[in-house]
């Protein structure tokens, strides 16, 4: 139903969609939010999408806030990175898999560079642990497939966040940062959505692409 002149909207509407369990791995849910302008035209506010294969719906319902992406707005990004997150409560282990990146835009107008990825574990904004991948030579679409394992007690999980940075290796071992993404309860956008999905599907890896913001 249309909510007239509403800023904070409560719909409380339920939809039932018949779906064969075998089709869960092949389908996604897309949520599109619209506003109605003075001429009664539908204006897109944003879109959110969930892969059903990332959710353990047979065991528990999934409930989380989703970030709406503005499909009409150009985003100032310097590439994208595919990350997988999972948390194992019994072992109190957070696993971050740096899968791959694509369409990287090098810093300072460079034509080519040697990328690698740094993963920082933050607590209240402070860096408490750091891991990094191997360097990929001259590749704007590098495939890493490296897992980073952090020991994280469940009691502090909501105080933590991740900062994932794509960097360019230099001759002296140091390098320029290409871009980064923040993931966690205090992040915004896809970073919050990914964290919430991880918490809703404990023990099961959840993969998601993230736009890289310029540092």
List pLDDT tens digits, range 30-48: 888 888 776 666 677 778 8
CB burial of 23-47 (b: ≥16 within 10 Å; e: otherwise) equals ebeeeeeeeeeeeeeeeeeeeeebe
Nearest to 84 by CA among 205, 211, 181: 205
Where do the domains of the chain lie, and which CATH numbers do they carry?
21-69 (no CATH), 75-213 (2.60.40.150)
| C-alpha pair distances (Å), 13 with each of 7, 10, 18, 22 | 18, 9, 17, 26
**Burial (0-12, 13-18, 19+ Cβ within 10 Å), 71:** exposed
How far apart CA 53 and CA 10 sit, in angstroms, is 27
Q: Residue 198: count other Cβ atoms within 10 Å of its Cβ.
A: 25
pLDDT digits 0-9 by tens, 98-129 = 999 999 999 887 888 999 999 999 998 899 99
Q: What is the pLDDT along the chain (215 residues), one digit of tens a residue?
A: 888 777 778 888 999 988 888 888 788 888 888 887 766 666 777 788 787 877 777 777 888 777 777 655 545 689 999 999 999 999 999 999 999 999 999 988 788 899 999 999 999 889 999 999 999 999 999 999 999 999 999 999 888 999 999 999 977 656 788 999 999 988 877 888 899 889 888 888 999 889 898 86
Q: Where are the alpha helices (DSSP H) in the chain?
A: 190-200
Compute φ and ψ for 181, nearest 5 degrees. Answer: -140, 145
Q: Tell me the β-bridge partners of 213.
A: 77, 180
Q: Residue 80: count other Cβ atoms within 10 Å of its Cβ.
A: 18
């Amino acid at each position: 139903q249309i909510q007239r002149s509403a800023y904070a909207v409560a719909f409380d509407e339920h939809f039932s969609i018949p779906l064969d369990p075998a089709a869960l791995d092949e389908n996604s849910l897309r949520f599109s939010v619209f506003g109605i302008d003075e001429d009664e035209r539908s204006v897109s506010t944003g879109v959110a999408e969930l892969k059903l294969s990332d959710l353990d719906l047979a065991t528990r319902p999934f409930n989380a806030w989703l970030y709406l992406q503005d499909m009409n707005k150009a985003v100032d990004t310097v590439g994208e990175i595919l990350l997988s997150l999972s948390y194992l409560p019994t072992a109190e282990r957070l696993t971050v898999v740096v899968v791959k990146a694509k369409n990287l835009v090098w810093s300072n107008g460079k034509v080519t560079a040697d990328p690698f990825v740094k993963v920082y574990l933050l607590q209240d904004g402070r860096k408490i642990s750091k891991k990094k991948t191997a360097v990929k030579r001259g590749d704007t679409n590098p495939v890493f497939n490296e897992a980073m394992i952090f020991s994280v007690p469940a009691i502090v999980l909501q105080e933590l966040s991740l900062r994932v940075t794509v960097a360019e290796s230099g001759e002296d071992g140091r390098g320029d940062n290409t871009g980064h993404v923040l993931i966690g309860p205090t992040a915004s956008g896809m970073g919050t959505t990914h964290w919430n999905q991880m918490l809703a599907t404990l023990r099961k890896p959840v993969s998601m692409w993230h736009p890289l913001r310029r540092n």
